[in-house]
Chain A
Amino acid sequence: EVQLVETGGGLVQPGKSLKLTCATSGFTFSNAWMHWVRQSPEKQLEWVAQIKAKSNNYATYYAESVKGRFTISRDDSKSSVYLQMNSLKEEDTAIYYCTLNFAYWGQGTLVTVSS
């Protein structure tokens, strides 16, 4: 059974950093292309970032709204994907989901950016 579990969310001040973790199981993680998607308080879904597999040189892609501030990475030995979020803004407040090709989703972790 595919499982994705996000952790690391919380309340953070504007300009600070936070790192999210998505621990996975139930599939061959090393071959998987993984995404982060976020959902705003207004319930709008927004794709955030993608990381491809080693065979694709771990290529990464980002939404314009987070480019230069967020970094997606992975550790195949731990079957985990990460999202390092720097210079956080209030508009980054959302539930952050990791997803395997949009077919399987974690339960999400809430990030609140507020002073």
Chain B
Amino acid sequence: DIQMTQSPASLSASLGETVTIECRASEDIYNGLAWYQQKPGKSPQLLIYNANSLHTGVPSRFSGSGSGTQYSLKINSLQSEDVASYFCQQYYNYPPWTFGGGTKLELK
């Protein structure tokens, strides 16, 4: 199984700041990576797929990049509604589909 390691586990940032979350796969996943946002008490919502494609309706301040085993999610100009947990997921080699441990983003 492919293991996904996310960092940091938690993050505190100010409004308007740029935030970056990292995700590392245990082997090359050839951009088969998605990012999800989960607000407290809600279900995960797809943000990005294929490592860098924005899902319908997702604000353009979110972007994804990376290749091979290293990927990142960037949030430009942090807004209050971005307070959430973020998860990466690989779907290159499945089953199983595997998720990172999550990053909890809070406002400073």
Contacts and interface: CB of A to CB of B under 8 A. Distances in A.
A71 interface: no
B104 to A, nearest CB: 8
A63 B101 CA distance: 17
Interface of A: 35, 43-47, 50, 61-64, 97, 102-103, 105-108
Contacts of A47: 95-99
A23 B55 CA distance: 24
Contacts of A45: 44, 87, 89, 99, 102
A50 B95 contact: yes
Contact of A46 (B43, B44, B85, B99): B99
B79 to A, nearest CB: 22
Nearest to B56: A103
Interface string B69-103: 00000000000000001010101000111110110
Contact of B97 (A97, A102, A106): A102
- Interface residues of B toward A: which range? 20 to 34
A114 to B, nearest CB: 22
A50 B91 CA distance: 13
Nearest to A44: B101
22 contacts: A43-B85, A44-B99, A44-B102, A45-B44, A45-B87, A45-B89, A47-B96, A47-B98, A47-B99, A61-B95, A62-B95, A63-B96, A97-B43, A97-B44, A102-B46, A102-B89, A102-B91, A102-B97, A103-B46, A106-B43, A107-B43, A108-B43
A43 to B, nearest CB: 6
Given A45-B89, A102-B91, A105-B44, 4 more contacts: A46-B99, A47-B99, A63-B96, A103-B49
Nearest to A108: B43
A55 B44 CA distance: 29
Interface string B15-43: 00000000000000000001010000011
